[in-house]
Amino acid sequence: MKVTSLSTDQYLDLKRQFQLHKLPFKEDVDLSIHCSFKIGGVCPVVAEPESTEQILETLAIFQKLEIPWKILGGGTNVLISDHPNDLVVVRLSGAFKHFVELEEGVFKIGAATNTTPVFRQISLFGYTGAEFLSTIPGWTGGAVIQNAGCYGGELFDLLTEVEFLRDGEIFRLGPADIKHGYRTTEFLERKDSIILSIKMKLVKGTLSEIEESLKDKRDRRNSSQPKNKRSAGSMFKNPKIFDESQKEIKAWQLIDKSGLRGLYKGSAQISPEHCNFIVNTGGAKASDVAYLVEVVQEKVKKDSGVLLEREVEYFGSVP
């Protein structure tokens, strides 16, 4: 698919509007520094709204100028385009980077908070149940969109409310009113939705047991992932299939069975340590990773009859 870059005039008009409305933005941002893959090109303009009002003003300008846009959070589950100049990136800032305990055990957490330090801190306040979230990198908004989880827990198990913006209206819905499942939510389909914050209620626990739980989950995470941290986590969802003994067959097992462990394209590699990870060994392009993704899907489909579904989202035009 041919990528249509935004024109210089479009960017100039956009910057004038941002300056007129006193909306925060940055120019010529290297997006590779904002993702765990360390892959991605330079985006000419990145909007950084600090409040819901500023988000609404920013979106109104995009609509007026007919400019496409996309939200970028912590960048831990995305593969960013090598040429992100066909859209404007939005990264939440300001009030969205904070969390607060509203009452005992009830927390309101901004969408732009970093999950690992936030949920570790909340756990060390003496509340239990969210320890697993301290091992999942990224921003809280992205965790909502993906229904992030591990070690038998999912974010939606803990939520009492998601606050989000859609079609210019603010919604506050409980988990029962939001379509969600294993590593998926309706927000993956509704790209026009912007997560603003979440609320969750946790119960008090024993601090020594919580600390042990945090350590155990951190150690398990570190031992199960490649030493090269330049990746986006698991590239493919587990297909939810089982062998004759009803033991779940994992995506990595199918990839390994197809003999793809360690395969290179450019500076991207299917990790020899964990073959459901694709790692950037230094200077990899989005096109390199996309090539390996396609090879895996085609080879596993041919060998095992299973079409693996990507867990990592493509951000912009990839390849």
3-state DSSP assignment of residue 30: strand
Instruction: For strands 268-270 and 264-265, give the pairing.
Output: antiparallel
pLDDT attached to residue 150 = 87
The domains found in the chain, sorted by start residue, are 8-94 (3.30.43.10), 96-223 (3.30.465.10), 227-315 (3.90.78.10)
pLDDT attached to residue 226 = 81
- Which residues, in sequence order, are bridge partners of residue 147? none
pLDDT digits (tens, 9 = 90+) for 26-41: 999 999 999 999 999 9
**2 pLDDT tier (thresholds 50, 70, 90):** very low
Rounded percentage of the chain residues whose pLDDT exceeds 90: 85
Alpha-helical regions (H) of the chain: 8-20, 52-65, 115-124, 140-146, 207-223, 251-257, 286-304
pLDDT attached to residue 227 = 76
3-state DSSP assignment of residue 131: helix
Is the predicted pLDDT of residue 232 greater than 60, yes or no? yes
Q: Give mean pLDDT, residues 232-251.
A: 93
Is the predicted pLDDT of residue 81 greater than 60, yes or no? yes
pLDDT attached to residue 234 = 92
pLDDT attached to residue 319 = 78
Residue written as tokens 């993906």?
A: 146
pLDDT attached to residue 224 = 74
In angstroms, the CA 244 to CA 240 distance is 14
pLDDT digits (tens, 9 = 90+) for 19-75: 999 999 999 999 999 999 999 999 999 999 999 999 999 999 999 999 999 999 999
Please enumerate in sequence order all residues whose Cβ is within 8 A of that of 293, keeping only pairs 6 or more positions apart, or say none.
Answer: 235, 278, 310
Catalytic residues: 183, 234, 311
220 token code pair: 């398990």
Peptide bond into 319 cis (omega under 30): yes
Predicted TM-score (pTM) of this structure: 0.88
Is the predicted pLDDT of residue 1 greater than 60, yes or no? no
45 token code pair: 């303009």
Query: How remote is the C-alpha of 26 from its chain's centroid?
Result: 21
pLDDT digits (tens, 9 = 90+) for 131-171: 999 999 899 999 999 999 888 889 999 999 999 999 989 99
